[in-house]
Structure 1
Amino acid sequence: MKFYSISLFMCFIFFGCASHKEEFQLSKTINLDQKEELQAYFQIWVAGVQGGGSGINFFITKDLIKNPTEVYFRGKKESLVLNNNVYVAHFKTELNQEKDYVMDANAVKEHKNTLPLVDNFPFNIKDNEAIILSETNGKKEYILLKSIVKKPLLAYPSIKK
């Protein structure tokens, strides 16, 4: 009898913990066509020097979605900031960044290596799709943007001589 009580208690704990996971329900989908290509787009950039960094700038016009606050794109989440009637999010990538990993048979020498962060991305979307979080009066809406335009690579010049 004691075994059944403990088993029942453990089931409640496991199911109770699982129920606290945030649910993401899509409110609507916006399929961008050629007329709307400038309403949402992204542009990859790289620095002109090794280790200078790289990233993706993501843009949404103010008129496309009301009160956007966050964007989920290519496995990452960033805040959207209004800048000259355009919402912008800046994603950093690992392209063009120097890695300083110590590889040695002696584990003590490797202990300063940092592990890459594993992020549980809540959506299964393509590379040209994004989820926008819009908040109005405390109500959250998740909006899927499809067929987002990729602008040409922006390569910053190297240091002037």
Structure 2
Amino acid sequence: MKQLLLLLFSIIMISCSSQKKALQETLQASYETWVAGVRGGGSGINFYVDLKTPLHKEIELKKVIFRGYEVPFEKIDDLHFVARIKTEGNQQKQDGTDSQIYTSPKNALTLGENEAILLFSEKAKEFNVKIKQVTEKPMLEYPSAKPKF
């Protein structure tokens, strides 16, 4: 009986790790930083996930943890997702406003500069995949506002 339980547990663990490995092989993660061209216009990081094949209908890409921030994904289409991270730089400071800057204590110290954790859900169970090399795209520098004469 113990051997049967051990075999069943091993099969479950192998299938979970193979699922994570399959997800890592079918996605590409990249990011680009941006700064608005006007004072107080904001700054941030756009984090992109591009898939080679659509996710199984029971799997949903929920959030990313990147550089201490934890933000939800926006689905562009079945193969492309983006998470828009607002950073502290170049933000307009006003009393009583929510700056919508979300930081996460989860794994912030254990992740490298170009590492991220993607959070997925499948049948109400959460699991994560660690991406070891996130590609950096060139920075977006938005032009400044036109002068008012």
TM-score, length basis structure 1 = 0.62
Q: Structure 1: how far apart are the matches of 2:126 and 2:111?
A: 19
Alignment-derived partner of residue 116 in structure 2: 130
Which segments of 5 or more consecutive residues in structure 1 lack a partner in the other structure? 1-25, 102-111
Matching residue within 69, 73, 83 for 1:76: 69
Which of 88, 96, 103 is the matching residue for 2:90? 96
Q: CA deviation at 1:99?
A: 5.0
Match of residue 121 from structure 1: 105
**Equivalent residue of 2:139, what SS?**
strand
Question: Partners in 1 of 2:32 and 2:136 — Cα distance?
Answer: 6
CA 1:148/1:155 → structure 2, altered by over 3 Å: closer, same or farther?
same
Superposed displacement of residue 97, structure 1? 2.3
CA RMSD after TM alignment: 3.2
Q: TM-score, normalised on structure 2?
A: 0.66
Deviation at residue 157 of structure 1 after TM alignment: 0.6
Counterpart among 130, 133, 143 of residue 157 in structure 1: 143
Residue 47 (structure 2) pairs with residue 58 (structure 1): yes
Q: 2:91 and 2:71 mapped to 1: Cα distance? A: 20
Q: What is the identity, as a one-letter code, of the residue corresponding to 1:143?
A: V
Partner deviation per Cα, 1:23-55 (whole Å, 9 max, x = no partner)? xxx96468x89xx8x821000000001111000
The match for 2:12 is none
Q: CA deviation at 1:96?
A: 1.6
Q: Tell me, yes or no, if the aligned pair for 1:29 and 1:145 is still in contact at 8 Å.
A: no
Give, in whole Å, the separation in 2 of the partners of 1:156 and 1:144.
31
Give the Cα–Cα distance (whole angstroms) in 1 for the partners of residues 136 and 116 of structure 2. Answer: 12
Q: Where does residue 39 of structure 1 map in the other structure? A: 28
Contact kept? 2:70, 2:102, Cα under 8 Å: no
Task: Answer yes or no: is the 8 Å Cα contact 1:56–1:93 preserved in 2.
Answer: yes
Give the number of aligned pairs: 118
1:87 aligns with 2:81: yes
Instruction: After TM superposition, list the pairs within 5 Å mapping 1:10-29 onto structure 2.
Output: 28=20
Q: Percent identity?
A: 37
Indicate if the aligned counterparts of 2:116 and 2:130 stay in contact, CA closer than 8 A: yes
